[in-house]
Structure 1
Amino acid sequence: MSPRRPIVLFDLFGVIARHQRPGSMDEMAALSGAPADAFAAAYWACRPPYDAGRWTAPQYWTAVLRRLSLTAGPHTIEELRLTDIDSWSRVDDRMVAYVQSLRDVAEVALLSNIPADHADAFLSAQPWLRHLDHVAFSGRIHAVKPDLAAFRHCIVAMRAAPADFLFVDDRDENVRAAQAAGMDGHVFTRLDELAAVLDTWLPVR
């Protein structure tokens, strides 16, 4: 039996990057002219096809506004788009450093649910991502976690076996899906706990 090829596959938001900036949903609601609660419901209800790359940003925002019985011109839609991108732009610098350090002992990859235009902005702002062994964004691969197709994409793209992967995500349903695809999985809560898991999981050098 050949030795396991260690690949640590990370989620982005809630692990390496922060969740959405507090207050940004209210800001976008104000731009749209909708009440905050109704706006948030429409924002999330319309998100899956945008995350999966089936809708462009203008199509997504038009659908959100239509759900709210509102319309807006191109300028407002672009304001909403840019505010949305900015709201997801923060990273945890300690996690970024840790992820980069792992490349000395394993291959490191990323699998994130993120629209294609958000992915472009994130790559521009965080060039270290380009040095990972593989980066898979849902808006580009047209598969959204916890769909097994998202995990299979990484397996095929990296020419690896499912058992080579440890998938790290802050959402239990995504970790369960990775395990169903044959990967090991860890539900992320904090860095020190993850480091302890990896100390055990990584092969002895």
Structure 2
Amino acid sequence: MSTGQRIVLFDLFGVIALRQRPGALAEMAAWCHAPADVFTEAYWALRPPYDAARQSAPQYWTAVLRRLSRPVDTGTIEKLRLADIDSWSRVDDRMVAYAQSLRRRAQVAVLSNIPADHADAFSAAQPWLHNLDHVALSGKINVAKPEPTAFHHCVTAMHATPADFLFIDDREENVRAAQAIGMTGHVFTGLDELVKVVNIWLPTSMTSPTLSQH
């Protein structure tokens, strides 16, 4: 059952924000004197507790360095931490403009997997986030997608029901998880297709926003 609200819930990275900067993991691997593929495997395999705030940045990077059998020291950890944050700092300006423009027709929110220290840096650098109706970042809400609790956090915070939401993510497993609790879901492949999906999902009596050409 819907409350009659219309809430467009966006993922960040791979949708509004860009994916990790190409070459960033290879650069970090070189600092650790580790093969890029081995570093990449450790980076992602150990990531979930960090995303969900069950580990701090130093704990995460200590685990990565130990997995690689590399020395653990505070200088290396901080260098890796800052490089990691920088590698996830870019946004798609056209998607930012579109998400903001949708607030004329619906509530707009974000649900993203991002560690707490990344969340602080990203939020400080992207003031448009503070104009949205709700922002749920995994490192701040202590749960990460595709856990159902992450989606239920948004439902509760926005005094809504799952049927009120259109969830947009570039990862199919996250979209399936949203659909499993009753949200409408869309796997993001590009803005043009998304505009069509949103225009079908939102009430037809509302006027479509003008897309930014930037």
TM-score by length of 2: 0.93
SS in 2 for 1:173: helix
Match of 1:37 in 2: 37
**Residue 111 of structure 2 contacts residue 137 of structure 2 at CA under 8 Å; is this kept in 1?**
yes
Q: Give the aligned residue type for 1:82.
A: L
Give the aligned CA root-mean-square deviation in angstroms. 1.2
Closer/same/farther in 2, CA of residues 3 and 34 from structure 1, 3 Å limit:
closer
Q: Does 2:86 correspond to 1:91?
A: no
Residue 4 of structure 1 and its aligned partner are, at CA, apart by 1.9
SS in 1 for 2:20: coil
Match of 1:160 in 2: 160
Alignment pair present for 1:111 and 2:105: no
Matched, 1:71 2:71: yes
SS of 1:91's equivalent in the other structure is coil
2:188 — aligned with what? 188
Percentage of identical aligned residues: 70
Q: Which amino acid aligns with 1:34?
A: A
SS in 2 for 1:110: strand
Deviation per CA, 1:74-98, whole angstroms, max 9, x where unpaired? 1111010000001111110000000
Provide the rounded CA distance (Å) in 2 between the counterparts of 1:104 and 1:56.
38
Distance 1:110 1:21 in 2: 21
Aligned equivalents of 2:115, 2:154: Cα separation in 1: 17
Contact 2:2–2:161 (CA under 8 A) maintained in structure 1: no
Cα distance in 2 for partners of 1:190, 1:2 equals: 27
- Distance in 2 (alpha carbons) for counterparts of 1:130 and 1:36: 36
2:136–2:154 CA contact under 8 A, matched in 1: yes
Stretches (4+) displaced over 6 A: none
The aligned residue for residue 125 of structure 1 is 125
| Native 8 Å contact 2:10 2:169 kept in 1 | yes
1:37 is aligned with what amino acid?
D
Alignment-derived partner of residue 81 in structure 2: 81
The alpha-carbon deviation at position 147 of structure 1 amounts to 0.7
- C-alpha deviations, 1:10-53, integer Å up to 9, x for none? 00010001111001001111111211111111111110100010
1:3 deviates by: 6.1
For residues 88 and 29 of structure 1, what CA distance do their matches in structure 2 show? 16
AA aligned to 2:81 is R
The one-letter amino acid paired with 2:56 is T
Q: Which position in structure 2 is the counterpart of 1:142?
A: 142
CA distance in 2: counterparts of 1:16 and 1:179, whole angstroms: 20
What one-letter code is carried by the residue in structure 2 that aligns with 1:22?
P
Provide the rounded CA distance (Å) in 2 between the counterparts of 1:94 and 1:175: 22
SS of residue paired to 2:110? strand
Q: CA deviation at 1:175?
A: 0.6
Provide the C-alpha distance between the structure 2 equivalents of 1:3 and 1:114, rounded to a whole number of angstroms: 29
SS of the residue corresponding to residue 189 of structure 2 reads: coil
What does residue 49 of structure 1 align with? 49
